[in-house]
Structure formats: C-alpha cells, structure tokens
Chains A and B, each alone.
Chain A
C-alpha cells in the first residue's frame, strides 16, 4: 500500500502544472532574472578609471594676473595628473584629456567626463556636474596634490634648517650661510616618493552580497515544498477531496498513507531543488564555495521544513486549496522578503534590530545558514540554523499530528 500510494501521489503531483510551475519553473526564471540584473552590479561598484579633463588655460582676463602665481601649483598639478593618468602604471586612477574650458564644459554636459580641473586659475578649481563618489575622489586627488606641495614646503624648510644646524655644528658654531638647496630638494622629494603607508588589508575574499539573492532563491524553493506537502495532505483529508473521503472510510492505515504521500512530495521537491542547483551552478556559474555537501544538507533540511509547513497548512487551515496555496506563497514571500530577497539591507536590518523575527523565519534560517557557510570560517552559526530548522519542522509536524489525529466528520 505504501508504494502504491507513493507511486500515485508522484503521478498526481507531476500532473499538476501549476504546482510544477511554482516549484520548478518559477525559481529558475527568478534565478535567471537575478543573474541578468545583478551580474554586473558589483563590478560597477569597484573603483574604475575616472574620465576627467584638465583645462590648461586661465580665463582671459585672469591670465595675466594669475599666471605667475598659479604657475607653481599648476605645474605640480599637471605633472601629478600625468603620473596618475599613466596607462602603463598599475596605480592609474584617471584618464585625462587636455582641452579648452569650452570643450570641457561640453564633455561634462554630455556625461563623458566626471569633471574638469581649472589648473591655471589663481586657485585651482574642480568643476563637477553633481555630487558623487567619483567627483569626491577627483576633488580628493587635487587636494592631495596641493597638500603635497604644502608638505614639500614644510619639509624643505625643516631640512634646510637641519642642514644649516649640522653645518654650523661642524664649523664650530659659526654661521654656515646658505644650505645646499639641490641636496635639500633631492632629500625631501626622495623621502616623499619613498614613503609608503603601513596598511595591512585583512579583508576576507567572500564579499559578494549578490550571493544572498541566490540564497533567498534556494530558501524560496525549499519553502515552496509546502505547496507540495499541502497538496499531498489535502488528498487524504476527507473534507478536502473525494479521494480523501474514500481513504478515510477505507481499511487502510492512515499513518502509512500520510507517510508515503509525504515521501513522494519530498522526492518531487528534491527534483526541483536539484534542477535549481544544476541551473545555477552550470548555467549561471554561481559558486557555492568549497562546502557544497553542507549547502546540500541545508537545502535538504530546509525542504523538510517547507514540507512540514505544508502539512501544517493542510491540517490547520480550514479553507479551500487555492486559499491554502495563497497563504503558503504569501508566507514564503514574506519570509524571503525579510531575509533579503528584495534587497539585502532588509536582512541586515531585521538581523540587527529585530533578530527574533529571522530566528523564527524558516527562509531566514536557510539564507543565514548559507550566508554563514559562505562568509565565515567557523560553522557554529550554520549548525545553529540547521538545528533551528529541525526544531521548526518538529513543531510543525507535532501540531499537524495532533490536528489530524483529532479530526472527525459528522457528515461528508
């Protein structure tokens, strides 16, 4: 009887096109849309070469007055930007074009450049169209060059003083006259070029936040198992289907039928899950990292949690099949929303402000378990989520067991 019911439940589930769409096709379609939308997003957030222009001429009237004063800083700026725009350098930050002010305005207007530098004004000025990080970096680069000029002056004065003092010491306290300016300049510029900040980057490698989107997708697929579980339970409920009526009056053990129906549902679900993994790994090239067996284990436990949710929905909600499906999909989508499907910030906000919400949200448990596997080297958070999912499943099945056990019908 077990295998007989198992076989027919499989047939019944595979014949439900709507069920197949939501559990098999919809996650794959959504995954593909995620891939299309997010494949370039992180690349675009990384520092790229910034297009800028330098205006090498001063505005007409200002030219005569400002050229002498400006020329010192302007030369420094031009040389520095030449170095920062060197295409052969690993540290290239800008792609610079040298144009007239009118041309620069045109380029900025068309969005071809982030901004332009009026290098020969009395006070060098950065012209940008809007506020933004590229504009800020451009301004910072100019500031740094001006700071270096000031620093050079301070260090030169200091080094000259030091040389004079040393010379005076050597001459027995008599005035040593002028310092050797060439030696001073060489020493100061050498020091400036040599100096390297001691910063050690200890960032981990796995920082791709778009992975969260795929994790919520897996969570959604796992929880859609609830619709399959609910279908299977409905089949044996006397108040939900004719088949259920026949079963309830038939000489078969109800427990065995429930178990075989649920096993068939789980098999259908695992096939959907396998399809999603194959699609994301081989077509979308999603890298789930070196802990693939643990990822699969979490997906299996997550699907079980989904199944248990479906059994509970089938047993506890007194409504027709469509309403039950509607409730399951709404609960699943709400869970996925809270765990970051529509924007990863949501998961962070919930985790940090209302952590209990994602601790009781099965989608949150699955997403967080996968996230902890991806991001952390330790496994305690992963196992915490696995245990949470098992407790959730046990709770759902326990409640359903008592609800189903007590069901009696006055008439059918």
Chain B
C-alpha cells in the first residue's frame, strides 16, 4: 500500500485548501441554519422596519407604532444611530422600510389636516407589504376622523377595524422552513464538495504524474493496474471521507431534517454527486501537471458550476437562459434533486422517479468523465512512449 500511503502524505501538504472550503461551508451554514420548530399553522411574514417617531406625545402616532410592531419587526431605537447608519441599513436590506412620523402628526391629523408620513423603502416585496399596511392604517384613521370621531373613539375604532384578519390555513404539512435550510446546506455543499474533492484529487494526481516520479513508477516493479487500483482506492477514500464529514456536519446542524426520510434522500443525492466530483477530479488531474494552472481550472469549474446551477443564488431566481446552459453541468441535476426532495409530499415510486432520473443523469456524467479520463491517459501514455 505504498502508493496509498504516499497519496495521503501528499494530500496532507495541501490540506489547508480543503479545510478552507470546509470552513466556508461551515460559516455559511451557521449563518443561515438556526433550525426552528415545525409549524403547521400559517405564520405571516414580518418585514423589518425602522420607525422614526417625532410625535412622541401623539395618541395616533403611538397607535401607528403599536400597529407596526404587531405586523413587523421594529428595530429598537438606538440600534441604528445616525443618518448614515440608517441609510446603510436600508441599502443592505437590514430594514425594508424607514417610516418617519412628523412632529405634531396626531394633533394635525385629528384636526383634519393630512401631514405626510415620509418613507424610504427598498422597493421589494417586504417593503410593498409594509406600505400596504401603512396605507391601510392611515386610510382607516382618516375616514374615522372625517366621520367626526374624537381621539378616544377613533383610537378604539381603528384598533377594532384593523384587528379584523382573514383566516389562513396551510394545506401542506411539510416543514418547509427547515427543509429549505437543508436545501441551502446541500446546495452550498455543491461548491465545497466540488472544489475540495477536485482540488485535492487533481493536485495529488498531478504530483504522481510529474515527469521524474512517473518515470520512477514506470521503472519500478509495481504493476500498472495495481498502481492505478491503489490510486483509485485512495481517491475514493478521500472523497467519501469528505462527503461523510459534510453529512455529519449537516446532521449536527439540521437535526430536525436530517433524521427524517428527507435527510436520507439528501444524503443519498450528495453521495451520488460525490462520486461524480471524484470522477471530475480524476479528469482534471489528468489534464495537466502544472499545479498553478490546475488551481485556476478548479476555481473556474467549481465557482462556475455553483453560480450557474443555483448553489449560491436560488435556481428560480436565475435567468432562464442560464438554467438552460446549466443542464450540461452535473451540479444542475444535483441541485434540482435537492429542490425536489424538499417538495416531496409522498414517498411512492411515482414521486421518487424524477429523483432517480436526475440521479441517473449524475451517474451518466460520472461515467462520461471516467471514459474521458481513460482516453486522455491512454493518449498521454502513447504520446509519451513515442517520445
């Protein structure tokens, strides 16, 4: 097992890069992964809002603030100090809307005036929803005021009218929130698995293929088939160890999902993809022995696949043309499977069939890369023997 041991000795030299890819995965996973309890009741979205209430004494302003606190997550005063901090928070979508209630708002409003409420918004869905609510509040309050209600009656009526909420029910019992976290983790693992596996395998293989080492191996009494078998075994052990490690991380971080049938499917899907990553590593490792060139190729392949197939940005947000091109990449089928798993309602053959088809496509890619690697290494051997 000399070759097997040497493989891991060389790998040890490059472990830093693999660790970096793993740390990136861990970091992003931890950033997004606080699992929550499964909720079977409808829970309304709560946008983030910053309220700048310059009408501290006003009853209507207080009512508006209380209403907003019911509907949205209001940033605590003092959390965003200064104009620049507020503007930055808006740009980086930490708040969806900044609402400014002008001085003397309540008094003027109750006197029949309509002072402007100033808003700054991100213009997205969340901001549109907040604006709907703000408009509603102001319209109801204005109509009550017009009807001749005094402050006390108006406050009471506005409260009562706005408390009228339609019933909403979830038709699916799927734990969508936690499942989507599983999808996020395994989609992101596409990058770490691909970059980590391909980098390590390609770099170590290129070390074995370097001129003088190759010549020494050729001259040694080790049979070519045995040499190849040991390399394949070492690569397989490494790829599966890396995959197993990522699975364990997911089990620790996503307990609610990973110990269910869904978790099993995520694991199976990533296993098939790990095999594919192994074959891609083999292929790229046979392309060149120049380590710096390899590092460039790997970065382009891993980042390209991840960006184009929806590992970083959800696939439904990618342009259609990009997704069409992505069909030629194995990552696309892996990520599509992750998305499908999270939408599974039943576990019969009919609903699992698309997953099996996608898995088959990934295995097809694996076979293709194995064949390409063989062709490449055969032509390489022939050209070298001619020389």
In the complex, chain A residues 21-52 whose Cβ is within 8 Å of any chain B Cβ: 21-22, 25-26, 29-30, 33-34, 36-41, 44-47
Q: How far is the CA of A352 from the CA of B81 in the complex (A)?
A: 10
Which residues of the partner chain B approach A151 to less than 8 Å between Cβ atoms?
140, 143-144, 161
Contact with B along A338-370 (1 / 0, CB 8 A): 000011110110011000000000000000000
Once A18-B296, A199-B135 are accepted as A-B contacts, the answer to whether A30 and B303 lie under 8 Å apart by CB is yes
Which residues of the partner chain B approach A371 to less than 8 Å between Cβ atoms?
91
A131, B129: Cβ atoms under 8 Å? Answer: no
A40, B142: Cβ atoms under 8 Å? Answer: no
A198, B115: Cβ atoms under 8 Å? Answer: yes
From B119, B137, B148, B174, A158 is in contact (CB under 8 Å) with B148
Contact with A along B89-126 (1 / 0, CB 8 A): 11111100000000000000000001111111111111
Once A18-B292, A46-B123, A159-B147 are accepted as A-B contacts, the answer to whether A140 and B132 lie under 8 Å apart by CB is yes
Once A36-B308, A139-B166 are accepted as A-B contacts, the answer to whether A127 and B147 lie under 8 Å apart by CB is no
Query: Could you say which of A57-65, A200-208, A309-317 contacts chain B?
Result: A200-208
Once A130-B176, A151-B140 are accepted as A-B contacts, the answer to whether A125 and B129 lie under 8 Å apart by CB is no
A155, B147: Cβ atoms under 8 Å? Answer: yes
Which residues of the partner chain B approach A195 to less than 8 Å between Cβ atoms?
139, 142-143, 146
B93, A209: Cβ atoms under 8 Å? Answer: yes
A132 within 8 A of B: yes
Query: Could you say which of A142-150, A232-240, A247-255, A390-398 contacts chain B?
Result: A142-150
Nearest residue, chain A, Cβ from B125: A133
Instruction: State the interface size on chain B (CB cutoff 8 A).
Output: 83
A105, B167: Cβ atoms under 8 Å? Answer: no
Which residues of the partner chain B approach A345 to less than 8 Å between Cβ atoms?
92-93
* Chain B CB within 10 A, most for which of A198, A330, A371: A198
Number of contact residues on A: which range applies?
35 or more
Which residues of the partner chain A approach B84 to less than 8 Å between Cβ atoms?
381
A197, B319: Cβ atoms under 8 Å? Answer: no
Q: How far is the CA of A128 from the CA of B41 in the complex (A)?
A: 10
Which residues of the partner chain A approach B87 to less than 8 Å between Cβ atoms?
375-376
**How many whole Å from A49's CB to the nearest CB in chain B?**
12
Query: Can you list 8 A-B contacts (CB < 8 A)?
Result: A37-B318, A142-B166, A143-B166, A197-B134, A197-B139, A199-B116, A207-B90, A207-B123
B contact set with A: CB distance below 8 Å: 20, 24, 28, 39, 42-45, 84-85, 87-94, 114-126, 128-129, 131-140, 142-144, 146-149, 157, 160-162, 164-172, 174, 176-177, 292-293, 296, 299-300, 303-304, 307-308, 312-313, 316-319, 322, 345
